[in-house]
Structure 1
Amino acid sequence: MPSADYRTLVRANYRQLSQSIQGFKPRREQNFLVAEIGKVLLGQHDPARRILVAEAGTGIGKSLAYLQACIPWARLNHKKLVISTATLALQEQLVNKDLPLFQPHCQPAFTFTLAKGRARYCCRQRLQSLVQGNSQMGMFDASEALTPAQQEQLAGLWRALEAGDWAGDRDSWPEPIIDALWAQLQTERHSCQPQLGHSHCPFHLARAELDKVDVIVVNHALLLADLAMGGGIILPEPESCVYVLDEAHHIAHIAREQGSARLALRAARRNLEQFNKQLPNLATALKDDGHSAVNRTQQALQQLIPSLTELHKQLQAALRSGDLAPDDQGCLRFAAGELPELLSHTLTTLKDEHKQLAQGLGRLQAQLAEALKQQPGNSVVSGAMAGVSLQQLHADEALSLCELMLRAVGPKHTPPARWLEQSKNDITLCATPLAVGHLLEQWCWSRAAAVIMVSATFTALNDFSYFRRAVGLRPDDGSQYLRLNSPFDYRSSRLIIPSLPCEPQEAGFDELLIKEIPRWLKDEQASLVLFSSYRQMNAVAAALRGKGHSLLVQGEAGRQALLELHRMKCDGGQPSVLFGTGSFAEGLDLPGHYLTNLIITKLPFAVPTSPVEEAMAEWISMSGGNPFMQLTVPEASRKLIQACGRLLRTETDRGRIVLLDRRLLTRRYGPALLNALPPFTRET
């Protein structure tokens, strides 16, 4: 594709857009972002590595920028544009606002849709079986009796699906569907295959639509789930895609979650025992054709079930004797990822036995699929397929857990976090990869036609290194980096750091907040107070209410209900004060008179309390690093920028930020954190 054709289209689309939208204001930073994305897509920096990491401050209009730059290039090069986001709010903004806004003004023309995971769609055959009185598992009867209300709801779902009035996805049904009922309806990877004649399956119909549209909007979890399976399973193959990862600072964390695995020993054993009891029924249903596969599965279970039982007993004994000592929450992390001898030996056996089980289940599934082709609509066979499918999912996760637990780690490689959780009724083995950069390189960076990553907060302490390490990019790999400041007038707003008598870690800081916060709320109409913990927030809220203050506190009502009440009070001229924790520091949009006074009680330093965080800090220390400076401070910098970003949401917004943590002035990391913030006018 000649670059001149692409540039001509981008310019023409921009003129059309600017002339058609009333009150359109050109944004220099937005145009710069469009131009830089275009250079990367055209391969002007590196034709073998079309990757851009662009930090675009609030108010630049990054979504409209990447739509302008990416859609024409993808269409001219016969690629799909996949836009992935971290939050539902941004998905809704793209699908309901940004894409419809740009669509009439774009050449080449494009179509778009929102993609959802399998679990958001019902399985047509499962729904039909339930309506006809069969349980989800067919002969593997594991479901409780349906209530009359649930039976009525199922009948309504089936009628609407049959009539074409419902697409089969949970989100578009006007009434809530309880989780326990939906679990019996949802599509699963092993049991719902198009070759089985499921041409009218809601998921496969939706999946077929993805092949017809030009732009697909997804969330990070769905994108990474597809990539982890090799790509092209739910979404198009990476080689045919241009990826835009919006809110991409979440990517490493979500990739880590996708790579995690768990195995609850007692629950797994009971599930397999129940499944084993039902296998003779399956052999009868399959007649002579299925005996070999059933026998192989039974043999695997006869080895696996005792192994799970024995491991549970050994771990219980070690926990009782004190050889293994979990913390107060029942969590025991294996330092440096090194397993106790009894675990490493038994997990090797469990790994082999789960492989044998997976092979037997695969043969069973193939036999059931063949039987269903010969007997379309046979609810007994389709129910059995659902039961075998569920066992395949369990076996896959157990195998992943064993592999993660046993994976040998070289001297320069980061070991996974490995731990066990002891509860009243079970012992669960858990593992999570810490370093996911090589996975992202393998899944996406090295395969995609192009990757554009955007966020308002990539840099930590004014540098991309923290993010680059997390996602597996190297300074010399050809990836490009861009940082664009927000066009907002930050200097017209104030950042106040009072000189307080004590710091957050000292005893008496709660009492200091109870004294200081009313001082900074006085005469203010719209305030947001951000806390580092629910405990502290609730303690301060109780004390201030005792002094007559009216507060809207996170957790006492739904997020949207609280925000709506806050807006109503502001619109009515009443002072309104919101109390919130970390989740209110990201994604909260209160423009104009809805927020003019932001109080941050404490720097957002995360204490490594989870096994994953502890393992990460431990590995940095073992490698000769400083976890606080390499992990805690950069992450606090990013979170502080996000928190301060709640104040100014439009170009005309004004206000002040009060930061009640004097460590910004007294500690050696303070200047770096301050200098990474937007250029507010500072006061002390």
Structure 2
Amino acid sequence: MLSDTVKKQIRHGYDKLTQALPNFAKRKAQNYLVAEIAKVLAGEYEKSRRILVAEAGTGIGKSLAYILAALPVAQANNKKLVISTATITLQEQLINKDLPFFLRHSDYQFTFTLAKGRQRYCCEQKLLATQDTSQQDTQAQLFEERPKAGDQELLKRLHKAYLDGKWQGDRDSWPTPIPNRIWQHIASDKFSCKRALANHRQCPFHRARDDINKADVIVVNHALLLADLELGGGIILPDPDNCFYVLDEAHHLPKISRDFASASTNIKAAQEWLKKLKPLNQHISKKINKHTTITPCLNLLESGVELDASLKKIEHFFRDNAQLFGEKNQCRFELGELPDALINIINDLQMESKKGVAALSKLSSIIDEEIKDDNIKVRDAEPLLIETGLFLQRFENINCLSNMLIRDRSEKQAPIAAWADNENGELNLHGSPIEVGGLLEYMLWSQAAGVIVCSATLTSLNSFEYFKRQSGLRSDDGTQYLRLKSPFDYPSVDLIIADMQHEPTHADFDNELVDKVATFIEDKEANLVLFASYWQMNLVADKLAKKYGQALLVQGVLSRSQLIHDHKQRCEKGLTSILFGTGSLSEGLDLPGHYLTNLIITKLPFAVPNSPVEEAHSEWITSQGGNPFMQLAIPETSKKLIQSCGRLIRKEQDTGRIIILDKRVKTKRYGKGLLDALPPFKLQFEQNRT
């Protein structure tokens, strides 16, 4: 239950913060969100499952609400507050703006930090080793991309800046991008950069980890959160049962989770690194003269030989069955079921990769013991730990993929997506889950002390059902659901359904589209035209280039940052500006006020299910008697259409109009549902306009 002390703290904090915000308007929706977050985390609804899924429309002020409510409840319960985002933009806003603002203008006493993955930090010992000429040749053999001429100069600058205290070893804080071929030589990794080894205790990652342990509020991204949870939690971040999580931009969570759980192997690359196992064994035998390494070294070599043989068999299988590959040079296995001949090979792959993982883990432990017993110099052990760590990661990846491909099938559970592709003559094998609800339940929902899931778009077709299916949540599991509408004056915005003769699938639609886009472009205004594909955008751009000249700014011709910069400059001068963009501009693009007054959506944002994972998902739903169009395509389109329309109104004073050039919203049965799910714009049909 919420104590009176915490309630008072939240109210007092709200009063102080709102007084510090210029032109702040009190909103009932924001107050309600604050109250519900606090009550859910305090266990007032369900003590054993403190989860709230909250859709809070644009303008409500989510970040103020969840910091205001969650932080005092977390501190009262001796929990850490972990805020996870999907984008760098929101991370930077929280770290550089929102949290410092709270600290300055409230009575809340707290510390905060940004948590990054281990590989965003350099390893101090590796950085020092780059300046040790005796180790450079060894390092150069480990990585697939070798340093180029001149790279050593950058390593020297990094080394000097680090020793002078001018650089803290964070890749993102170096003023210019550090190429991967250089960074891979100095990046921290879990195999060689260990806190248990005395000379690594001051490495940048371990210092950052200390900051995380001390902080009250930790900002992360979804990928890092999932990485920590997969390891059981408490490795990079605090233990899940010691955390209240806020998952902002949570509509991205299912896809990020699915991508995170996937695995793939390039057959040729795997064969190449397997050739380096023999030199690794020789290196270990030379540096560690102990009989304890004989058995794991032999097991590792045997595993490598057998793995190589299995990889050759996989090549032969696909060479002998070339008809499996279609025009896209891709072969997807129906319902994730591989042919028996291939299953037998993957079984061998699984067993041998498991054997290799065990051997490398044993060798890594032996090296650790030798260091602790002072039987080997640290400078000699470092390359061994790096090498064994790299190979262990590669063996683990193959083992993960093979486990996924041969796991037992269940009629009740969705299968995996399994496919192979042949790109530029190189064979790749892939596996991915198609549903991740069970994974999220196991790693997150059932483990966390409390979770607040929020976004401006979590519903589809006015319902949370689609998000529930994607994320593994239910209506009867104690999870609370809340939907709060935006305070913006949407009825003042015209939503115009154009009078189109043809549907997008018709051959004459493109020509009609060119004319209609030109009709609805407004002179001396800020226009954004969203397309469903690059080819259609470029086709229309080519036809209109002569008419609009420099006013036409096309995504892909210019970088995103340059595109927006040029657009804003034209708007400042009162000139016509026409942004042409695809789906990536339909989310996260912030053009308030006069920077956007006329939004044209050329086509309903239906995603073409052309990825193997999406195809497999549709196939699974069909096999269960479902309708993938209604269960996947329509809900996803509803969500994307809401996001697209959301580009126009970013602040309370914003105004303008939206035009949809797709007649299916009025001719198809699903069209009404798509329109009803949008904010309450002033709906008009072009032929009825006066």
TM-score (norm 2): 0.96
Q: Does the alignment pair 1:176 with 2:177?
A: yes
State, as a whole percentage, how many aligned pairs show the same letter: 47
Distance in structure 1 (CA, Å) of the matches to 2:325 and 2:74 = 53
Partner of 1:478: 478
Work out whether residues 494 and 680 of structure 1, in 8 Å CA contact, stay in contact via their aligned partners in 2. yes
Q: How far does residue 564 in structure 1 lie from its aligned partner after superposition?
A: 1.1
Q: How far does residue 522 in structure 1 lie from its aligned partner after superposition?
A: 3.3
Partner of 2:589: 588
Q: How far does residue 11 in structure 1 lie from its aligned partner after superposition?
A: 0.7
User: Which of 283, 291, 295 is the matching residue for 2:294?
Assistant: 291
3-state secondary structure, aligned to 2:54? strand
1:587 maps to a residue whose letter is G
Work out whether residues 266 and 312 of structure 1, in 8 Å CA contact, stay in contact via their aligned partners in 2. no
Distance in structure 1 (CA, Å) of the matches to 2:508 and 2:137 = 57
Matches within 5 A, 1:394-409: 394-409=394-409
What are the superposed Cα offsets for residues 519-554 of structure 1, whole Å, 9 maximum, x if unpaired?
111335100000000001111111100334431111
1:274 maps to a residue whose letter is K
Give the 3 Å change call, closer, same or farther, for CA 43–141 of structure 1 in structure 2: closer
Give the 3 Å change call, closer, same or farther, for CA 230–136 of structure 1 in structure 2: farther
Distance in structure 2 (CA, Å) of the matches to 1:455 and 1:20 = 25
Give the 3 Å change call, closer, same or farther, for CA 137–105 of structure 1 in structure 2: farther
Work out whether residues 9 and 72 of structure 1, in 8 Å CA contact, stay in contact via their aligned partners in 2. yes
3-state secondary structure, aligned to 1:419? strand
What are the superposed Cα offsets for residues 401-445 of structure 1, whole Å, 9 maximum, x if unpaired?
011101112111100111111123322111101121111011010
Distance in structure 2 (CA, Å) of the matches to 1:667 and 1:145 = 56
Distance in structure 1 (CA, Å) of the matches to 2:109 and 2:172 = 28
1:94 maps to a residue whose letter is L
Give the 3 Å change call, closer, same or farther, for CA 423–145 of structure 1 in structure 2: closer
Q: How far does residue 163 in structure 1 lie from its aligned partner after superposition?
A: 2.1
2:365 maps to a residue whose letter is A
Distance in structure 2 (CA, Å) of the matches to 1:10 and 1:263 = 51
What are the superposed Cα offsets for residues 568-606 of structure 1, whole Å, 9 maximum, x if unpaired?
110111111101000100010000000000000000011
Partner of 1:240: 242
What are the superposed Cα offsets for residues 447-502 of structure 1, whole Å, 9 maximum, x if unpaired?
11100000011110000000001100111001000000000000111000111110
Work out whether residues 139 and 185 of structure 2, in 8 Å CA contact, stay in contact via their aligned partners in 1. no
Q: Which moved more, 1:376-385 or 1:203-212?
A: 376-385
Work out whether residues 139 and 383 of structure 1, in 8 Å CA contact, stay in contact via their aligned partners in 2. no
Partner of 1:465: 465
Q: How far does residue 140 in structure 1 lie from its aligned partner after superposition?
A: 4.7
Work out whether residues 146 and 181 of structure 2, in 8 Å CA contact, stay in contact via their aligned partners in 1. no
Q: How far does residue 682 in structure 1 lie from its aligned partner after superposition?
A: 1.0
Give the 3 Å change call, closer, same or farther, for CA 665–22 of structure 1 in structure 2: closer
Q: Does the alignment pair 1:167 with 2:168?
A: yes
Work out whether residues 372 and 382 of structure 1, in 8 Å CA contact, stay in contact via their aligned partners in 2. no
Q: Does the alignment pair 1:317 with 2:320?
A: yes
3-state secondary structure, aligned to 2:153? helix
Partner of 2:333: 334
Partner of 1:304: 307
Distance in structure 2 (CA, Å) of the matches to 1:139 and 1:369 = 23
Q: How far does residue 237 in structure 1 lie from its aligned partner after superposition?
A: 1.0
Give the 3 Å change call, closer, same or farther, for CA 517–404 of structure 1 in structure 2: same
2:28 maps to a residue whose letter is R
Distance in structure 2 (CA, Å) of the matches to 1:15 and 1:376 = 62
What are the superposed Cα offsets for residues 105-125 of structure 1, whole Å, 9 maximum, x if unpaired?
344411111111112111212
Give the 3 Å change call, closer, same or farther, for CA 408–144 of structure 1 in structure 2: closer
Structure 2: give runs of 5+ residues left out of the alignment.
Answer: 686-690
Q: Does the alignment pair 1:267 with 2:292?
A: no
Partner of 2:186: 185
1:437 maps to a residue whose letter is G
Work out whether residues 522 and 598 of structure 2, in 8 Å CA contact, stay in contact via their aligned partners in 1. no
Work out whether residues 138 and 380 of structure 1, in 8 Å CA contact, stay in contact via their aligned partners in 2. no
Give the 3 Å change call, closer, same or farther, for CA 544–160 of structure 1 in structure 2: same
3-state secondary structure, aligned to 1:589? coil
Work out whether residues 405 and 431 of structure 1, in 8 Å CA contact, stay in contact via their aligned partners in 2. yes
Give the 3 Å change call, closer, same or farther, for CA 371–18 of structure 1 in structure 2: same
Q: How far does residue 377 in structure 1 lie from its aligned partner after superposition?
A: 6.2
Work out whether residues 264 and 431 of structure 2, in 8 Å CA contact, stay in contact via their aligned partners in 1. yes
Partner of 2:205: 203
Partner of 1:529: 529
Q: How far does residue 254 in structure 1 lie from its aligned partner after superposition?
A: 0.7
Work out whether residues 82 and 244 of structure 1, in 8 Å CA contact, stay in contact via their aligned partners in 2. yes
Q: How far does residue 168 in structure 1 lie from its aligned partner after superposition?
A: 0.5
Q: How far does residue 204 in structure 1 lie from its aligned partner after superposition?
A: 1.1
Work out whether residues 288 and 376 of structure 2, in 8 Å CA contact, stay in contact via their aligned partners in 1. no
Partner of 1:130: 130
3-state secondary structure, aligned to 1:552? strand
Distance in structure 2 (CA, Å) of the matches to 1:643 and 1:12 = 37
Partner of 1:520: 520
Q: How far does residue 518 in structure 1 lie from its aligned partner after superposition?
A: 1.1
Partner of 1:250: 252
Distance in structure 1 (CA, Å) of the matches to 2:106 and 2:127 = 41
2:201 maps to a residue whose letter is S
Distance in structure 2 (CA, Å) of the matches to 1:137 and 1:499 = 68
Q: Which moved more, 1:5-14 or 1:62-71?
A: 5-14
Q: Pairwise CA RMSD of aligned residues?
A: 1.6
Work out whether residues 524 and 574 of structure 2, in 8 Å CA contact, stay in contact via their aligned partners in 1. no
Partner of 2:608: 607
3-state secondary structure, aligned to 1:195? coil
Distance in structure 1 (CA, Å) of the matches to 2:622 and 2:138 = 49
1:338 maps to a residue whose letter is E
3-state secondary structure, aligned to 2:599? strand
What are the superposed Cα offsets for residues 368-426 of structure 1, whole Å, 9 maximum, x if unpaired?
22333326863332012111101111111111101110111211110011111112332
2:356 maps to a residue whose letter is L
Work out whether residues 111 and 217 of structure 2, in 8 Å CA contact, stay in contact via their aligned partners in 1. yes
Partner of 1:215: 217
Matches within 5 A, 1:50-89: 50-89=50-89
Give the 3 Å change call, closer, same or farther, for CA 144–480 of structure 1 in structure 2: closer
Partner of 2:688: none
Q: How far does residue 262 in structure 1 lie from its aligned partner after superposition?
A: 0.7
Q: How far does residue 101 in structure 1 lie from its aligned partner after superposition?
A: 1.0
Distance in structure 2 (CA, Å) of the matches to 1:584 and 1:530 = 8
What are the superposed Cα offsets for residues 196-240 of structure 1, whole Å, 9 maximum, x if unpaired?
221111111111110010001111111111111211111111001
What are the superposed Cα offsets for residues 165-203 of structure 1, whole Å, 9 maximum, x if unpaired?
211111000122112111222112222211022111111
Q: Which moved more, 1:376-385 or 1:543-552?
A: 376-385
Q: Does the alignment pair 1:456 with 2:456?
A: yes
Give the 3 Å change call, closer, same or farther, for CA 74–270 of structure 1 in structure 2: same
Structure 1: give runs of 5+ residues left out of the alignment.
Answer: none
Partner of 2:634: 633
What are the superposed Cα offsets for residues 64-95 of structure 1, whole Å, 9 maximum, x if unpaired?
00000001011111111000011111111111
What are the superposed Cα offsets for residues 612-641 of structure 1, whole Å, 9 maximum, x if unpaired?
000000111111111101100000000000
Work out whether residues 266 and 309 of structure 1, in 8 Å CA contact, stay in contact via their aligned partners in 2. no
Q: How far does residue 142 in structure 1 lie from its aligned partner after superposition?
A: 4.3
